[in-house]
Structure 1
Amino acid sequence: MTESSVRQGAEIPAYISLVSGAFSGVIARLFVAPVDVIKIRMQLQSNARLYGTITSTISTIWKNEGFTAFWKGNVSAEIMYLIYGSAQFTSYSFLNTHLSRFEKKHSMNIPTAIHSLTIGAIAGCAATCSSYPFDLLRTRLISNEKPRFVSLYREIKDILVASGCRGFFGGGFLSVLSVALTTGFSFAGYNVLKGATFGTIFEPTSGLIAGALSKFLVYPLDLLKRRRQITTSCTVSQAAVGIFQKEGLRGFYHGLIPSIVKSAPTTMLSLYFYELASGQLLRMEESKRLNA
């Protein structure tokens, strides 16, 4: 097995991180689109009869909206994943390189988990800020329960008329916070697990486990973010109190299972395809250098 492109101290050129991150984001999204729709519907709806379980949610969507409804919001989601993936991995690679050099220069020995958690969280912030409007559009398009799709152009126009440019950042603070924590935990968990299982049959599961654990730890923030993306008529604390009063503690975990089912393989696929693409581009770069 080749060394990881996200390991502590790895130095990856910016253009390779950019291209590889965009590629990994787009490919990962193709695999998880239907699960994403199920998860977001369960997060947004409090009707337990229709959206209380995965099977009832699938049945409701299929019966009322048709099979293609499982790809609602996919255009905005693909754009979001492309921007998010490129920004996340480019930021992570840049920070990884310079922080590692700083540690080496000053003879610092920062544990891998802390190193990855810190730069992963910052990279998550940068990626979220870059791609957030498309995340919001994805959520609003998926929340549409009518059989007919709402056009991306119309949704953008409606937001601009109702709220102006600020409307594209509803729930933005929660998104930055939840994604920063999720990304930080994902990179930290991945690097620790990959280091512990390197060269064994368990190495491929590193991304899967890291993705599942990070999503579980941060899930209530993700749910609050989704609710705030649909309506900005109340504060975050009011939304949290409302969920607790109407739905109890379980209300903060609506859609947890499909979220983990989506998040775990998304993290695994994203990291896998990033390492695959970056490894191939690095080999091509090395080949050009040797043949020059």
Structure 2
Amino acid sequence: MSKSGQRLQDEGTRWQVVTAGAAAGLISRFVIAPLDVVKIRLQLQSHSLSDPLSHSGLPRGSPIYKGTLATLRHILRHEGIPGLWKGNVPAELMYVSYAAVQFTSYRSITMLMHRVFGEGTLPKGVESFVSGAAAGAAATATTYPLDLLRTRFAAQGTERVYTGLWRAIRDIQRDEGAKGFFRGIAPGIAQIVPYMGLFFAMYEGLRQPMGQLDLPFSSGDATAGVVASVVAKTGVFPLDLVRKRIQVQGPTRVRYVHKNIPLYESGMVEALRSIVAREGFKGLYRGLTVSLIKAAPASAVTMWTYERILRFMIDRGQQQEEKV
């Protein structure tokens, strides 16, 4: 077998990559679901305990969350354990689909660049950045309606805005049209391109040296995923927050757990300016702490599961070929 053919075999078939990516996304989502709900609630909160008039002038029923643990306790006290998994159905569908599209696109784009420019011609960091950014953009655009549904379900308090997934799809289509499913896609794409580019570039750069380390609590692959995710997430977090705020715009905006979500009508740039003007620069980073806490186990579980499942399927395939 040629060196190129051996390398393709070692990286798995397209079906193996899809399966491993989907499984990694499914397991990762289940693990971090409660932290995801907390992050969304904090991102949608346009006031805090330190703000002037934080205890007055707010619409009745708008909670004031203070930190990750306090938000978890508030949700458990008022909404019960199921409240921590609100939006889990569309989120699971999104994570499975997203991971499958992401890893498949990453592999395909990398192979395309090898054919166009030649393998080893481009610096590894450049190759990983381009492949990661393009794969992230493709996965974001493909799964965006599920992301919007996840956010809206997670934003529901004791009042049920949507009674089920299919009812939500029908209501959004009826009241907002097809474009309603893509509210906030501009900051979504603007966020994911640098995020995934940085993530994959750092991950590929750290995976090999860290893989040689004998770490007590995790593998080198998992640790590389954590470091890459934390750095990339911090850099693009304001765009993630704006995306969440825009996703809950529309006729149901005042019916979520936060009754006073500001109205943003002029797009991403104006939303950023409005948040800075009304809440200061710190307003762009509401929920960052829990986001970073969430990013660590999510990325670690995703990358660790993906690498192990893919390797298992490749080994099984090679064993079956040897028996034939």
Q: TM-score, normalised by structure 1?
A: 0.91
> Structure 2: which 5+ runs fail to align?
1-6, 50-63, 251-263
How many Å apart are 1:164 and its aligned residue?
A: 0.8
SS of equivalent to 1:234? coil
Trace 1:152-231 onto structure 2 (pairs within 5 A): 152-202=165-215, 203=220, 204-231=222-249
Look up the match of 2:253: none
Structure 1, residues 52-102: CA drift from partner, whole Å, max 9, x if none? 322332232222222210000000000000100110001111112232344
SS of alignment partner, residue 150 of structure 1: coil
Match of 1:43? 43
Q: Distance in 2 between matches of 1:263 and 1:8?
A: 30
2:191 is aligned with what amino acid? Answer: S
Give me the whole-angstrom Cα distance separating, in 1, the residues matched to 2:118 and 2:105: 20
Question: Do the aligned partners of residues 55 and 189 (structure 1) sit closer, same or farther apart at CA in structure 2, a change above 3 Å counting?
Answer: same
Report the residue type matching 2:265 in the other structure.
C
For the residues of structure 1 that align with 2:249 and 2:71, how far apart are their CA atoms? 22
Query: Match for residue 276 of structure 2?
Result: 244
2:174 corresponds to which letter in structure 1?
Answer: V
> In structure 2, what residue type is equivalent to 1:75?
V
Distance 1:65 1:212 in 2: 30
The structure-2 alpha-carbon separation of the partners of 1:192 and 1:10, relative to structure 1 and needing over 3 Å to count, comes to farther
The equivalent position to 2:68 in structure 1, one of 42, 54, 58, is: 54
What is the aligned residue count?
Answer: 284
- Kindly, what percent of the aligned residue pairs are identical? 34
> Structure 2: how far apart are the matches of 1:178 and 1:9?
33
Instruction: Say if 2:322 is the partner of 1:290.
Output: yes
SS at match of 2:12: coil
SS across alignment from 2:214 = coil
Higher helix share: 1
CA distance in 1, matches of 2:12, 2:116: 16
Alpha-carbon separation, structure 2, partners of 1:242 and 1:57: 25
Q: Which amino acid aligns with 2:111?
A: T
Query: Looking at CA atoms only, which structure, 1 or 2, has the larger radius of gyration?
Result: 2
User: What is the aligned partner in structure 1 of residue 32 from structure 2?
Assistant: 32
Conserved? CA contact 1:9–1:101, under 8 Å:
no
Quote the Cα distance in structure 2 between the aligned partners of 1:261 and 1:45: 19
* CA-CA distance at 1:242 after TM superposition: 1.7
Q: Which amino acid aligns with 1:24?
A: A
* Distance in 1 of aligned mates of 2:139 and 2:20: 14
State the 1:46 CA deviation.
1.8
User: Is the partner of 1:87 in helix, strand or coil?
Assistant: helix
| Cα distance in 2, alignment partners of residues 10 and 208 from structure 1 | 24
| Code of the aligned partner of 2:107 | S
Q: Letter of the aligned partner of 2:202 in structure 1?
A: G
Match status 1:137 vs 2:141 = no
Contact 1:194 1:206 in 2 (8 A): yes
TM-score scaled by structure 2?
A: 0.83
> Which residue identity does 1:207 align to in structure 2?
G
Return 5+ residue gaps in structure 1 as ranges. Answer: 1-6
